[in-house]
Amino acid sequence: MNELPLLTYSDLVQSDRVHRSVYTDPRIFEMEMDRVFGSAWLYLAHESQLPGVGSFYATRMGREPVIVMRHSDQSIQVVVNRCAHKGMQLVADGESGQRPALRCGYHGWIYDTDGRVKAIPAEKGYQGSAISRACSDAQLRKIGAVHSYRGFVFGRLSATGPDFFEWLGPMQSSLDNMVDRSPTAAIEVAGGVIRYLHYANWKFFVENTLDALHPMVVHQSVTRPGSLLTSELADHGIEQPADLSMIAPFGGSYGFYDEMGQRAVPFGHGDLGEKTSLHSGYSTGDEYFRAMVARYGDTEAKRILGVSRNNSVLYPSVMFKAPVSLVRVIKPVAVNRTVLETWHFRLVGAPEELFKRTIRYSTIVNSPAGAVGPDDHEAYRRLQSGLEAHQSNWVLLARYPDKSEGDSGATLVGPGTSDLVHRNYYRAWLRYMANP
């Protein structure tokens, strides 16, 4: 390893390029866990996963194992998944269920659903020590802050930092759109979660999500045979099957993706598909549209369905795909290892066809056995190994320069294939890293 710190964070992140070590240096990864994942709001769960008192879900916030729980006063509590006694994880990562209390499987300490210790076995033995049921060291540690917005539960590890709405900013409209697409304004987690292990730095996925310059190259392996098949079927008078129409837009031209537009929002957030998206051409069906009009009125229903943001990133941990009702959660494991989770949502009250489409889309596009995901993953693997090379240090973010950029806190829009959103990621990254 090189000696640190010959380069400062502001040397690593320049206005139109970043140093390769932000993807490859394990020490930088550790600092990211402290400073980026330690102080940003991270997506944790959806409230439909916590239907009743004692419902819980164990997840991670960067390196920290946490338990998201529904307490007896209906509030959502998030505690560090670590017994106050000897430090054992109370629940396995990814586990969910419903229990009146959490009992440590090692020495039997029992905690209430807000993390307060209820029972310490053979408690007498602590008499005269600093430990009692009343002392803070005997409680499960709470994270810094929790905020649930329209069913999406976010947490922040640090006790201080931006308020949730300050952090969310104009991305509120992207989250709203995910929920407003339901004719009852309610959505629920359903259909299983895909957990895809990537041998690459977490930032490659975040960046790829708003990278409109890659689909027509990386996914040509499936769009090329897909368009050949489509035209062969057309020769027989057969319309393009739905599965092929889901795949076809990945082969869109640079012009198509530029036209789609992008939006860069303070705190590193962004959308791809400010104007149109891969999913713009999806038909909604009469029954669904009527249900939407009944709820929102004609104008508002059309406005909601007209928002077609392909991907919306709430930096650094989550991507929302509102038109397809799915969420992808980014869980860094190590500098070169990341788990991506894909969660699916049912629009409560909408025709079941919409949910089936969500499931079909994810089966085809998000699976580690599919014809799309593994090629993205292979790109990240090769980025990881390419950036290990020492002969050249820089990753370029120079496309579509915009003179109005800066740390002004303004929301900017640009052509879909612009590096604006990428420069915006790194402005936020630098702010987190350099100002802990």
Partner 1 sequence: MNAPEDLETALAVQQFVAAEAELLNRGDWKAWLTLFSADSVYWMPLSPDQTDWESQVSLLCDDALLRELKCRRWYDRHHETGAMSLKPDIRSLRLISTLSVSSLSGRDGPELLASGGVTLAEFSRGEVRTHFARVTWRLRRNAASFSILEKRVDLLNAQGPLSDIVTYF
| Chain residues that interact with partner 1, rule: CB under 8 A | 190-199, 218, 220-222, 224-226, 228-229, 241, 243-244, 247, 339, 342, 344, 355-356, 359-360, 362-364, 366-371, 373-375, 377-379, 382
Take residue 330 and report the two structure tokens written for it: 């980014």
Three-state DSSP string of 151-213:
CEEEEECCCCCCCHHHHHHHHHHHHHHHHHCCCCCCEEEEEEEEEEEECCCHHHHHHHHCCCC
User: How near is the Cβ of 181 to partner 1 at its closest, in Å?
Assistant: 19
Nearer to partner 1, 33 or 229 (CB): 229
Nearer to partner 1, 50 or 379 (CB): 379
User: What's the CA angle centered on 136, arms 132 and 140, to 5 degrees?
Assistant: 105
- The candidate with the shortest Cα–Cα distance to 337, out of 381, 280, 392, is 381
Buried/exposed code over 52-81 (b: 16+ C-beta within 10 A; e: otherwise): eebbbbbbbbbebbbbbbbbeeeebbbbbb
Judged on CB neighbours under 10 Å (0-12, 13-18, 19+), 271 is buried
Nearer to partner 1, 378 or 407 (CB): 378
User: How near is the Cβ of 354 to partner 1 at its closest, in Å?
Assistant: 12
Take residue 127 and report the two structure tokens written for it: 């008499």
Nearer to partner 1, 45 or 194 (CB): 194
* Helices 420-434 and 26-35, axial angle in degrees (round to 10): 80
Contact 308, 279 (CB under 8 A): yes
User: How near is the Cβ of 255 to partner 1 at its closest, in Å?
Assistant: 19
User: How near is the Cβ of 364 to partner 1 at its closest, in Å?
Assistant: 7
Give the C-alpha separation, 430 to 405, whole Å. 15
Contact 245, 307 (CB under 8 A): no
Nearer to partner 1, 73 or 235 (CB): 235
User: How near is the Cβ of 38 to partner 1 at its closest, in Å?
Assistant: 23
Nearer to partner 1, 157 or 359 (CB): 359
User: How near is the Cβ of 218 to partner 1 at its closest, in Å?
Assistant: 7
Q: Which helix (H) or strand (E) holds 345?
A: strand 337-347
Side-chain-side CA neighbours of 86 within 13 Å: the count stands at 8
**Separate counts of helices (H) and strands (E) for the chain:** 15, 21
Q: Please list the residues that pair with 326 across neighbouring strands.
A: 321, 344
DSSP state of 240: P
User: How near is the Cβ of 293 to partner 1 at its closest, in Å?
Assistant: 26
Take residue 281 and report the two structure tokens written for it: 């051409």
Nearer to partner 1, 335 or 430 (CB): 335
User: How near is the Cβ of 396 to partner 1 at its closest, in Å?
Assistant: 20
Q: Which helix (H) or strand (E) holds 4?
A: none
Give the C-alpha separation, 2 to 194, whole Å. 37
Nearer to partner 1, 48 or 221 (CB): 221
User: How near is the Cβ of 225 to partner 1 at its closest, in Å?
Assistant: 4
Nearer to partner 1, 109 or 205 (CB): 205
Nearer to partner 1, 167 or 380 (CB): 380
User: How near is the Cβ of 202 to partner 1 at its closest, in Å?
Assistant: 13
Give the C-alpha separation, 90 to 236, whole Å. 60
